[in-house]
Structure 1
Amino acid sequence: LVGYMAPIPPEDAEALIKQGYDPAFDRIGVDGIEYFLNNELAGKRGSQLREVDVAGATIRQLEQVDPVPGQNVRLTIDVELQKAAEDALRNELTLLNSTYKKVVSQQGVIVAMNPQNGQILAMVSYPGYDNSKFARNIDVNYYEQVVSDPLKPLINNAIRSLYPPGSTWKLITASGALQENVISPNSVLDDPGRLVVENKYAPNDPAASQTFVCWKRDGHGLINMIGAIANSCNVYFYQVGGGNPDVPKVTLREGGLGIEDLFRYATAYGIGTELGVELPSENRGRMPDRTWKRVLYGENWSTGDTYNAALGQGYVNVTPLQLVSMAATVANGGTLYQPTIIDSFLDPEGKVVQPFTPHVLRNVNIDNLTGTLKLLLVEDMIMKGPDSLDCICESDSPYYNGVRCNPATYRNTVDLSVNQDGSDIRDYQVFIPQNYTFNAQMCTPLRFNDKYRPAFVSGSNIDIVRQGMRAAVTVGTATKANLPYVEVAGKTGTAQYCDNIANGLGLCKFGSWPAHAWFIAFAPYKNPEIVIAGFIYNGVEGSTWALPMVRQTLEAYYRLKNARAGIAPPPAADSIPLPATPVPTSTPTGG
């Protein structure tokens, strides 16, 4: 997270000398915030130009450039909460491995965020490394140890690594399905435990069909949207995601949400784009579609692909940071903020010279669309192609247009009407994160689509998703996250996967795939002030292994909050009775 300093490498020397660095004496940031804000933290050297005699004595001073001291930066990270989150993650991994009496996992992530402004309160990527070993002179032996470690502790998995999100993704599918009127919130679908898809070329051959199962083998029966979120019903979300020809069209839209609309809503929540956190090498994540699969694999998209994508499986991959940002957007009612670890910049005397200002990346809530819209850079690229800001502002691009390259004043237009007939033309702008590097390689007609319509969700539909998350904690798959002193909402996720590591270990077995563990939660339910995402690589099951460490981090947050306010600590969660009330089959009124 913080990174470390190191001598200037030879390959960077020429460029840095032009910036005033001296490779013989100066050190630069190599990773983390030290790298990202290297110029701001370093300041600038001063210089003197003097005329001297043969003995080296100064005759006169010709020129002097005063040094510019570097700024200090105050981070948003709560050190005590960071420690509590790391302890919770370490302890959960220890318990997981001891329970199975073997090494099941040695990797995990916890990210905590303020959903009202995007400030990151804790970011733990385990295993990490001890940057104090690099404080002055790099410990060569230690460096070689971490570089050769197969767990790659130098990589911040919270922002750089991609994982299938599993059932936590159902929040995006639910948002799209409700907004596109795929299904009404009160309508129920049957979950008998499986959904069988016939092969259209051999409809009478059962052996050619494909079966998609629910985690609950005997199914959930008749269930509505809130119940499906609360109980994480796979078969329900298969149907709303990809359709079911056996369900009347009056109940379920033919074809379900479909991959095109799922792509739109995933993009609206920030999947497939850099969110702009002030750390290097942030991964964009991946939301696939028909074109992506055809180009990469030379294959057509199938209904099964849509079913998998609707559940955050298959080709869908995200970073933990993207997942916590998505959850924060749902929690706060529909505003996607730029995640940030910078609270303020300070001068050498400790005076704030640049306070933190929240930056809105995207308006997701359609009820909040007043004035100029905020859309994402990737949406601008999809709609405008060579006319997008990402193309015209890259000096190496053939589309370069310096006149329009001020991100603060850049404007474009989008048609929000369903029929794309020019009846609802709106101005929009995109926010450019600090140190963003424009990428001319994105200037390709592959994504250019002037009929693309950005997705928005109504406040009432976002609230239904929130109600489902609250029901998950009170009566669903996340009851172990229930706390007596604050209303918690959450969503479990168990994401099957098969990467190179699992395949090499022989874990990828059809019908018994290995799985990652996820849990996302926010609190308080009615006015959220913290969102937490927890992830354990190969963690078996979300509610069993990811949930407890998120709950412990949440408990630590309130314990610290009370202590700082001089209030008695909240009670422990161990004695909380778990409610046994059935999940409602109709949409509750109110929050």
Structure 2
Amino acid sequence: MSNIPETGRTPRVQIRLVIIQVLVVSLLLTLGGRLWYLQIRNGDEYTNEAKNNHVQQVVQPAVRGSILDARGVPLADNETRLVVSASRTELLKMKDDGKGVLTRLAGVLGMKPKDVMDKVRLCDSQTPQPCWNGSPYQPIPVTDEATTQQALQIRERAEDFPGITAEPTAVRRYAAPGKANTAQVLGYLSPVTDEEIEKAKDTDSPFLRSDQVGRSGIERTYDKALRGKAGVTRYEVDNLGRVIGEAERDEARAGANLVTSIDARVQAVAEYELHHAMKEARKGFDRNTDENYKADAGAVVVMENKTGRIISMASQPTYDPNAWVGGISAKDYARLTGKKSNFPLLNRAIQGQAAPGSIFKVISSTAAVNAGYEFDGNYPCPSSYSVGGQVFKNFESKGYGSISLGRALEVSCDTVYYGLAHREWLKDGGMKPKKKTDDWFYKTAHQFGLGKETGIDLPNEVTGRVPDRQWKQRFWEANKVGWCKQGKKNGTYVERIAYEGCLEGNLMRAGDSVNYSIGQGDTLVTPIQMATIYAAIANGGTLYDPTIGKAIISADGKTVEPIKPKAHGKLPMDRKTRNQIDKALAGVTTVGSAAWRFGGWPQDKIPMHAKTGTAEVYGKQTTSWFVSYTRDYTIIMTIAQGGTGSGASGPAVRKIYEAMYGLDEEGNQDLKKALLPKPQQGLPKIGTDGTIDSPSIRPYQPRKPKPADEQVLAVAPARRD
């Protein structure tokens, strides 16, 4: 038994106990502080994160609004189809990245395995179409044309098709009522991209990964209104993914309907007549190139004079916008974008640029009057005009003696405008221009609205070009080095042009000015620009923004948002000049360059005004232009490499008017057969249940020409304009 007293151990034990107590208290304080930090200070943040970890979202896509014509006929709406989709997220979890599943799916759908796999791959700069340019986390449509039997096979053998769904889905449909395709006006849809989702996330209209968005046409311009708002249901799930309750629900809101000013009946007529005019033009022989005209592209616009509303707009070549629904195939994509396609996705009414030829002369006539020349004065119209050793001729070297500007418009005399433009060029200093030049001919073109957009409610409108002194300087600075390398004083035509450009390409030469005065040279316009100008002449001088949208109406028809006409300027002419030009343009169809195309027209009942144009293009055949107006409408048609204005485009424009006004070949009117004798008033009715009061429409049946008419056309003289 030890004799050591107990009191010898007590201090050490007590010290140890104290240390342990301090450690325990410190740990408790640390844990308590951390618990306060997590639950009190950042409690809400972590609570939300915890909830999100146990919440799954189910998206109900919004039904996209319909696009209607002015009478309520659907141009674009929705139909229910069986859509088969694949989840990349699920497929990539498989050892073979889902190749086996997609191969089996191809067998059920009657498709090639490669085609199915191409559809679900993601788009990038190295991947050609078809591919998926939407979010990789949303189901990717493989086909929207599955049969009921195919859908049942997929759903009944779900174990063989993991990650594959087959569901009835509302799919966009471009109805083409009465064969009115309206492709370039309507546009098409494609899936939203991650970049677009990120960009829009803090706006009042964020995207969901399931959204489809408009990529061109009015589908793009009015996308926000048409798209509506998708519904989202949030479910609480446990750690095994089982639903334990519904957390929150945001109801889907259907997109609004867009009523347009397009009349599907007139659209069908315009599309047919443009296509037919191009076919007929290809039968014509071009003596300048010793081959038939190619007539490879064209456009037509029908516009209301007093509002700027577009009744019809067509472009050739065209395409079927339904090709984009559910994802475009490789074959269709190549056909629409390949080098041999001639780019049918282009809307040539707003994106096709060409020299205007003689339809530009209303601008030159106004410029001359504003520069101080009398409209009714006498101006020489010789067969040719010489400038600096170069001879500029009238078509077929025909002269008319001394004539007024009005008569010059009627017979489309070039040399009158050559002389006026040359005199103004000399007044501005010629090759040694004054510090402050008047430049009446160029200034007036800008005042007419050329060189900038018209403001039409379609994306990607181009500006055209007014080749004034400022443009020439910029163009010369950008091309001088290349011209100087290529140019040769005694070389080919192109080499001589390059040589001259190198030396003085920034200077306004006399030849530039006289050529410009008749709509040639470097001048570029679009059909919509010239339609806007001629509609302004018809309505007294107001330049309207062309518009296709007429009203946005909610899905239940209760809310109507009109899209009112908007003016952007006035023509730079007084009433007297406008009336004089108006009279001259009426003379074009009675005693001028278009008279041979308008024999029998009821001029006393429906006064017709027109201007013909044939624009020369280096290296190509001539561009045909025909622009016209009545009290109510302006119609313009152009055909690239189509020949003369009155020869190629004139007859088609007349037939469009005849269909709208209900006229026969002799000019007799039957209002029962008239499609649109006056502009459409009012809006179609949409019921609270979403039903649309929509009239039926029949395909356009063109009238067969009489044999006598065909004989007259066959012997009609060839003309420039």
Deviation at 1:315, TM superposition (A): 1.1
Deviation at 1:52, TM superposition (A): 6.0
2:610–2:626 contact (8 Å) kept in structure 1: yes
Match of 1:222 among 402, 407, 413: 402
Q: Distance in 2 between matches of 1:59 and 1:572?
A: 69
Unmatched 5+ stretches in structure 1: 199-208, 248-253, 365-455, 508-513, 579-591
Is the alpha carbon distance of 1:144 and 1:9 closer, same or farther for their aligned partners in structure 2, counting shifts above 3 Å? Answer: farther
Q: Distance in 1 between matches of 2:554 and 2:426?
A: 67
**Partner residue, 2:532:** 325
Is the alpha carbon distance of 1:572 and 1:326 closer, same or farther for their aligned partners in structure 2, counting shifts above 3 Å? Answer: farther
Is the alpha carbon distance of 1:269 and 1:301 closer, same or farther for their aligned partners in structure 2, counting shifts above 3 Å? Answer: same
Q: Distance in 2 between matches of 1:564 and 1:348?
A: 37
One-letter identity of the residue aligned with 1:463: N
Residues 232-273 of structure 1 show CA distances to partners (whole Å, capped at 9, x for unaligned) of 1101111223328999xxxxxx99xx8722222212221111
Residues 469-525 of structure 1 show CA distances to partners (whole Å, capped at 9, x for unaligned) of 011111000111351252210000010112xxxx3xxx5xxxxxx3101010011xx
Q: Distance in 1 between matches of 2:329 and 2:671?
A: 42
Match of 2:607 among 487, 494, 498: 487
1:20–1:45 contact (8 Å) kept in structure 2: no
One-letter identity of the residue aligned with 2:593: T
Is the alpha carbon distance of 1:537 and 1:293 closer, same or farther for their aligned partners in structure 2, counting shifts above 3 Å? Answer: same
**Partner residue, 1:392:** none
Match of 1:458 among 555, 574, 578: 574
**Partner residue, 1:40:** 225
Q: Distance in 2 between matches of 1:151 and 1:89?
A: 16
Is the alpha carbon distance of 1:246 and 1:294 closer, same or farther for their aligned partners in structure 2, counting shifts above 3 Å? Answer: closer
Match of 1:134 among 293, 302, 324: 324
**Partner residue, 1:384:** none
1:213–1:235 contact (8 Å) kept in structure 2: yes
2:662–2:671 contact (8 Å) kept in structure 1: no
Q: Aligned with 2:259: secondary structure?
A: strand
One-letter identity of the residue aligned with 2:628: A
Asked whether 1:311 is paired with 2:311, we answer no
Of the structure 1 ranges 482-491 and 469-478, higher mean CA displacement relative to structure 2 is found in: 482-491
Match of 1:263 among 442, 461, 470: 442
**Partner residue, 2:216:** 31
Q: Distance in 2 between matches of 1:246 and 1:358?
A: 42
Is the alpha carbon distance of 1:351 and 1:314 closer, same or farther for their aligned partners in structure 2, counting shifts above 3 Å? Answer: farther
Asked whether 1:533 is paired with 2:533, we answer no
**Partner residue, 2:189:** 5
Deviation at 1:304, TM superposition (A): 1.5
Deviation at 1:191, TM superposition (A): 1.5
Q: Distance in 2 between matches of 1:210 and 1:75?
A: 51
Residues 163-215 of structure 1 show CA distances to partners (whole Å, capped at 9, x for unaligned) of 0000000001111212332x1122111122111123xxxxxxxxxx1211111
**Partner residue, 2:413:** 233
Asked whether 1:20 is paired with 2:206, we answer yes
Unmatched 5+ stretches in structure 2: 1-184, 286-290, 428-432, 478-505, 678-702, 713-721
Match of 2:458 among 271, 279, 297: 279
**Partner residue, 1:554:** 657
Is the alpha carbon distance of 1:488 and 1:352 closer, same or farther for their aligned partners in structure 2, counting shifts above 3 Å? Answer: farther
Q: Distance in 2 between matches of 1:355 and 1:273?
A: 26
**Partner residue, 1:194:** 384
Match of 1:174 among 355, 365, 370: 365
Residues 262-292 of structure 1 show CA distances to partners (whole Å, capped at 9, x for unaligned) of 2222122211111111111000111121121
Deviation at 1:94, TM superposition (A): 1.3
Larger radius of gyration: 2
Is the alpha carbon distance of 1:150 and 1:137 closer, same or farther for their aligned partners in structure 2, counting shifts above 3 Å? Answer: closer
One-letter identity of the residue aligned with 1:158: A
Q: What is the root-mean-square deviation in Å for CA atoms of aligned residues? A: 3.1
Deviation at 1:337, TM superposition (A): 0.3
Is the alpha carbon distance of 1:494 and 1:568 closer, same or farther for their aligned partners in structure 2, counting shifts above 3 Å? Answer: closer
Asked whether 1:359 is paired with 2:566, we answer yes
**Partner residue, 2:296:** 106
Q: Distance in 2 between matches of 1:197 and 1:124?
A: 40
Deviation at 1:102, TM superposition (A): 4.1
**Partner residue, 2:556:** 349
One-letter identity of the residue aligned with 1:566: K
**Partner residue, 2:59:** none
Asked whether 1:87 is paired with 2:272, we answer yes
Q: Distance in 2 between matches of 1:52 and 1:334?
A: 67
2:425–2:510 contact (8 Å) kept in structure 1: no
Q: Distance in 2 between matches of 1:162 and 1:266?
A: 16
1:179–1:461 contact (8 Å) kept in structure 2: no
Q: Distance in 1 between matches of 2:386 and 2:654?
A: 37
Deviation at 1:350, TM superposition (A): 3.5
Deviation at 1:143, TM superposition (A): 2.0
1:259–1:306 contact (8 Å) kept in structure 2: no
Q: Distance in 1 between matches of 2:293 and 2:594?
A: 26
Q: Aligned with 2:283: secondary structure?
A: helix
Match of 1:157 among 348, 369, 375: 348
Deviation at 1:93, TM superposition (A): 1.4
1:344–1:352 contact (8 Å) kept in structure 2: no
One-letter identity of the residue aligned with 1:70: G
1:313–1:495 contact (8 Å) kept in structure 2: yes
Q: Distance in 1 between matches of 2:368 and 2:387?
A: 20
Deviation at 1:99, TM superposition (A): 3.3
Q: Aligned with 1:88: secondary structure?
A: helix
Deviation at 1:221, TM superposition (A): 1.0
Residues 111-145 of structure 1 show CA distances to partners (whole Å, capped at 9, x for unaligned) of 11001000001101011111122233423321221
Is the alpha carbon distance of 1:547 and 1:116 closer, same or farther for their aligned partners in structure 2, counting shifts above 3 Å? Answer: same
Is the alpha carbon distance of 1:8 and 1:189 closer, same or farther for their aligned partners in structure 2, counting shifts above 3 Å? Answer: same
Residues 352-385 of structure 1 show CA distances to partners (whole Å, capped at 9, x for unaligned) of 5112311011122xxxxxxxxxxxxxxxxxxxxx
1:164–1:316 contact (8 Å) kept in structure 2: yes
**Which one has a larger percent helix, Structure 1 or Structure 2?**
2
Residues 31-83 of structure 1 show CA distances to partners (whole Å, capped at 9, x for unaligned) of 1111121111112234456766657556684x665544321101111111111
2:661–2:674 contact (8 Å) kept in structure 1: no
Asked whether 1:520 is paired with 2:699, we answer no
Q: Aligned with 1:468: secondary structure?
A: helix
1:112–1:531 contact (8 Å) kept in structure 2: yes
Q: Aligned with 2:615: secondary structure?
A: strand
Q: Percent identity?
A: 29
Q: Distance in 2 between matches of 1:187 and 1:352?
A: 57
Residues 393-447 of structure 1 show CA distances to partners (whole Å, capped at 9, x for unaligned) of xxxxxxxxxxxxxxxxxxxxxxxxxxxxxxxxxxxxxxxxxxxxxxxxxxxxxxx
The correspondence of residues 422-441 of structure 1 with structure 2, limited to 5 A, is none
Match of 2:307 among 113, 117, 121: 117
Match of 2:672 among 549, 566, 570: 566
1:53–1:59 contact (8 Å) kept in structure 2: no
2:550–2:563 contact (8 Å) kept in structure 1: yes
2:381–2:399 contact (8 Å) kept in structure 1: yes
Deviation at 1:162, TM superposition (A): 0.8
Q: Distance in 2 between matches of 1:564 and 1:21?
A: 51
